[in-house]
Amino acid sequence: MGRAANQAIVVPSCFMHRFGTSIAWVLPMHLDANHLVSRPEAPATGAWRDPLALLLASTGEGVFGVDLDGLCVFINHAGARMIGFEPAELLGANMHDLTHHSHADGAHYPVEDCPIFNAFRQGLPCRIDSEVFWRRDGSAFPVEYSSHPIVDGGEVRGAVVTFVDITERKRAADALQRAKDQLEERVGERTLALATALKQVRELAARSETVREDERTRIAREVHDELGSLLVALKMDVNWMDKRLSEQEQRSAEAAHDMRDRMRCKCQNMSRLIETAVDNVGRIITDLRPSILDHQGLWAALEWQAQEFVQSAEMALDWRMDVAEAPEPPEPLAMAVFRIFQEMLSNVGRHAHADQLGVHIVVQGTALQLCVQDNGVGAPPQAFEAANAYGVMGMRERARHFGGDIRIDSAPGRGTRMCLTVTLPLETEALT
């Protein structure tokens, strides 16, 4: 049998609302209690006689009701446990003063601003997930709550509030936000690093082009100033001899003999000019690509370059090389190592102001280590990381191309030590 549409449903004492002298729970909008459960007929057993009490007891969310004075008229066990009370202790208590009195930062929360009370004051439901409730022990926890006005006979009688502890949700959201922030920070760092690397590569490419142009200019100047002048001198000597030879028949025997002596001296002078031209050509060729690297290999080329450098720079050389069992590297790697070594020596000559140079070369297994150390003025570490340190940048790019690395140890007044470490390919790999 169904009840009348506006008939009150009596609930246990912890869920009761007092109107005058009668105690009853009045459903909003004249809703029949039978609509709250899905069953055609009430079961015969007594356990199902009070579905509202079962519903409130079984839910994991906190549910409580307040009257127009904000006093608790009922609360389920889940809600009472969340704030550290027993349900009976909360009946008749002001729920705002008890559990919603302060903001998360401890600032006072005026009851006039409370959305729970505005639900029945203004008849507006609300749903909030940015505030906290306070426990009996004084600790707070983040909640998501909703407040709905209770209407009876067209008048608001109070409000029903449901709430749930969202501590774990907030913790997960905070962790997700931290992970997002860290990811954005890493992306920003990587983007900056890539932009910096791209800028350095562009600057290095521009610097390399400038160096190539300077080298072309230097070679052209040497060819013009030295080879050109020698060839002009040879041409003038050849013309002189041609003219004298054409006049030889007209001379007397004694004059012809003297002219032959003069032409012999001229030929000797021309031979010296040719030797000088050959030396200049050989030097230019050596600057472009040392022939010793092709004829005698990397180890001999490194020693030759070191001796040439200390001789021109007037420095004492401490040379140590242990490569007795090491195979000759393939030509591209050998050229890269040789150019890196030249740049190391060039840095010593331009910046170190040193009088002693140490070169230590050792091969252990397939690992080649080449170190150049001077006793010069040194420099702070950041000098070798500067954007315009093109020499160091070029050395590192050459080394990275073959899986190697350049380490630099320097400090003002302590000299500089540069070390190249690179793996030599096995002989079978070098052949392929």
* The residue count for the chain: 432
| Entry pTM | 0.47
Q: Where are the domains of the chain?
A: 13-165, 172-284, 296-431
The radius of gyration of the chain's CA atoms, rounded to the nearest angstrom, is 48
All residues at 6 or more sequence positions from 111 whose CB lies less than 8 Å from its CB, including other chains? 70, 96, 97, 117
pLDDT of 40: 47
Q: Of 3.40.1590.10, 3.30.450.20, 3.90.1170.50, 3.30.420.10, which CATH number belongs to 13-165?
A: 3.30.450.20
Residues forming beta bridges with residue 406, ordered by sequence position: 420
In SS3 terms, 78-117 reads as: HHHHHCCCCHHHHCCCEHHHHHCCECCCCCECCHHHCHHH
pLDDT along the chain (432 residues), means of 10: 34 37 36 43 58 74 91 93 93 93 93 84 85 94 92 86 93 93 93 85 76 75 76 85 82 84 87 84 74 86 92 93 86 91 92 93 92 94 84 88 93 94 74 46
Domain 296-431 has CATH 3.30.565.10: yes
Per the structure block, which two tokens stand in for 90?
């909360």
User: Contact, 319 vs 390, CB < 8 A?
Assistant: no
Q: Position 274: which residue type?
A: I
Distance of CA 404 to the CA centre of its chain: 21
The conformation of residue 94, written as its DSSP 8-state character, comes to: B
Residue 157 φ/ψ region, left for φ over 0, alpha for ψ in the -120 to 50 degree band, beta for the rest: alpha
What DSSP assignment string belongs to 237-294?
A: HHHHHHHHHHTGGGS-HHHHHHHHHHHHHHHHHHHHHHHHHHHHHHHHHHHHS-HHHH
